[in-house]
Amino acid sequence: MAEKSLAERDQALIWHPYTQMQNAAAPIPIIRGEGVFLYAEDGKKYLDAISSWWVNIHGHSHPYIAKKVSEQLNRLEHVIFAGFTHPGAVELAERLINILPNNQAKVFYSDNGSTAVEVALKMCFQFWSNQGMEKTKVLAFNNSYHGDTFGAMAVSARSAFTRPFDKLLFEVEFIDLPNQDNIEQLKKQISSLKTDLSVFIFEPLVQGAGGMQMYEAQHLDELIKHCRKENILTIADEVMTGFGRTGRLFASNYLIEKSDLMCFSKGLTGGTMALGITTCSKAIYDAFLSDDKLKTLFHGHSFTANPIACASALASMDLLLEPETEQNLHRIEMKHKDFAAKIISHKKVKCIRQTGTILALEWETFAETSYFNSLRDNLYNFFLDQGIILRPLGNIIYIMPPYCIKNEDLDYIYTKIEEALERF
Ligand code: PMP
């Protein structure tokens, strides 16, 4: 009997994320990665135009990160992080605080983007309760996405993905993204809700999973400022936007106003290891200092501040801060701009938008669109056939490449998008 393939063995046992297993295509077995390319078992190579769910910023199997991780593995793989510490966690905290907006004072480790958000929310709720105030309502944007665990899901937009759980999610007030025309009305809306509102959580400048919706720093600044005036805390969820993605180190660097808390994951380790970080201002931290043990933040994960994850984050930060990376961010931004200008008037291009290294294109479908329509699958499969991994969000395709992508590889993606525009 013939030996089973990797895909067959996978299908026999594994339940994949965001996948209807009844009719899912066989998963593509990837056995090696190098730079922007992933290599499949059958020898086909794929250009990873979405940085493997937005995590990979320096390319796959980066030799420098691999070296640092391997050295760390031989030194210390893990240690409980309550009552203990290790050099990597300390150095990473020091170096991160050094490059964050200067009100960020303390670093709390967890292990993914959703947990970074959970921690931030718990810090906010308990910030108020430690001071004898019950403020439990959250303010978030329509279309937002902050993760798939229950708290993170609660502060994300209600959608087809949350429907089975909607009744279980805590109360959140959703407002529109701000613009020139609605900003005053949004501020009024916030003021009318203020007594209950504990915190405002947002994805700064770009809403990722909500379809790469983009909005202006100046309007976000106004909302943050208004929240501060109304005694509402603010969380900048930089899980997707952090570490260069928007052209600057953090999307918050485009803002004048500073958020009380920030969340990080994805690019933090260069996409090598699972790690989450929540940072906060001194005022948040101080609200937990007490002789009363009940005012402690009772939260922690087994793999909190895992030394290997910290080593990959430190290595990734070394690469991120090299002048070459800054040049790459600029180069990708310029290339995207030129391409956007070239196709903007194509009849199938409903809208094209860009922030830093993210280019999003909304497909004109001339019909009702949804995440589940066939255009999405047709586009996904078309690009896969062409050896490009692009995962459209409904009728929106986007490029979010590792920063080391070469011009010729960007050109290849652009050419294939032009072909797709003619075809679908
Ligand atoms: N926040 C934002 C803005 C995200 O884009 C994501 C993931 N796409 C998350 C949080 C959740 O991160 P994770 O998938 O690591 O739980």
What pLDDT digit, counting tens, does each position of 201-216 carry?
999 999 999 999 999 9
Mean pLDDT of the chain: 96
Q: How far is the CA of 417 from the centre of ligand 1 (A)?
A: 26
> What is the rounded distance in angstroms from the CA atom of residue 304 to the CA atom of residue 215?
33
**Of residues 164, 228, 158, the one with CA closest to residue 200:** 228
Task: Specify whether 251 is located in the same domain as 274.
Answer: yes
Last-in-domain residue among 295, 320, 345? 320
For 240-263, what is the mean pLDDT? Answer: 98
Q: Which of 144, 214, 235, 266 to mutate to test the pocket of ligand 1 (most atoms within 8 A of CB)?
A: 266
First to last CA, the chain: 42
Within 6 Å (CB) of ligand 1, which residues are found? Answer: 112-114, 117, 145-147, 203, 208-209, 237, 239-240, 265
Q: Inform me whether the pLDDT recorded for 1 exceeds 80.
A: no
The pLDDT confidence band at residue 368, using thresholds 50, 70 and 90, is low
For 8-35, what is the mean pLDDT? Answer: 97
Q: Inform me whether the pLDDT recorded for 359 exceeds 80.
A: yes
Q: What is the pLDDT of residues 164-180, one digit of tens each?
A: 999 999 999 999 999 99
Q: What separation in angstroms does the CA of 379 have from each of 17, 243, 331, 386, 392?
A: 20, 29, 26, 11, 7
Q: Inform me whether the pLDDT recorded for 408 exceeds 60.
A: yes
Task: Specify whether 236 is located in the same domain as 330.
Answer: no
Q: Please report, for the domain that includes residue 23, its CATH number.
A: 3.90.1150.10
Task: Specify whether 70 is located in the same domain as 57.
Answer: no
Q: How far is the CA of 146 from the centre of ligand 1 (A)?
A: 5
Q: Is 343 contained in some domain?
A: yes
What positions carry a catalytic annotation?
Answer: 18, 145, 237, 266
Q: What separation in angstroms does the CA of 28 have from each of 18, 25, 34, 223?
A: 15, 9, 17, 44
Structural domain including 15 reads 6-61+324-423
Nearest-5° angle of CA 384, CA 213, CA 244?
75
How far is Cα of residue 228 from the mean position of the Cα atoms in its chain? 25
Q: How far is the CA of 148 from the centre of ligand 1 (A)?
A: 8
Task: Specify whether 263 is located in the same domain as 133.
Answer: yes
Q: What is the pLDDT of residues 48-98, one digit of tens each?
A: 999 999 999 999 999 999 999 999 999 999 999 999 999 999 999 999 999
Element (H, E) at 115: helix 113-129
What burial class does residue 374 get, using C-beta atoms within 10 Å of its C-beta: 0-12 exposed, 13-18 middle, 19+ buried? Answer: exposed
Q: Please report, for the domain that includes residue 145, its CATH number.
A: 3.40.640.10
Q: How far is the CA of 4 from the centre of ligand 1 (A)?
A: 34
Task: Specify whether 94 is located in the same domain as 239.
Answer: yes
The pLDDT confidence band at residue 366, using thresholds 50, 70 and 90, is confident
Task: Specify whether 253 is located in the same domain as 373.
Answer: no
Share of the chain above pLDDT 90, in %: 96
Q: Inform me whether the pLDDT recorded for 371 exceeds 70.
A: no
Last-in-domain residue among 320, 335, 355? 320
**AA identity, residue 324:** E
**The ligand 1 atom nearest the CA atom of 152:** 10
Taking the whole predicted model, whether its pTM rises above 0.85 is answered as yes
Domain total of the chain = 2
pLDDT at 347: 96
Task: Specify whether 312 is located in the same domain as 339.
Answer: no
Task: Specify whether 293 is located in the same domain as 348.
Answer: no
Task: Specify whether 351 is located in the same domain as 302.
Answer: no
> What is the rounded distance in angstroms from the CA atom of residue 79 to the CA atom of residue 156?
33
Q: What separation in angstroms does the CA of 195 have from each of 118, 128, 198, 232, 277?
A: 22, 12, 8, 9, 29
pLDDT at 177: 98
Task: Specify whether 56 is located in the same domain as 112.
Answer: no
Last-in-domain residue among 300, 320, 340? 320
Using CA positions, which residue lies closest to atom 1 of ligand 1?
Answer: 146
Element (H, E) at 201: strand 197-202
Q: Is 1 contained in some domain?
A: no
pLDDT at 21: 97
Q: What is the pLDDT of residues 143-166, one digit of tens each?
A: 999 999 999 999 999 999 999 999
Task: Specify whether 106 is located in the same domain as 175.
Answer: yes
Q: Please give the radius of gyration of the chain, using alpha carbons only, rounded to the nearest integer.
A: 22
**Of residues 142, 150, 247, the one with CA closest to residue 201:** 142
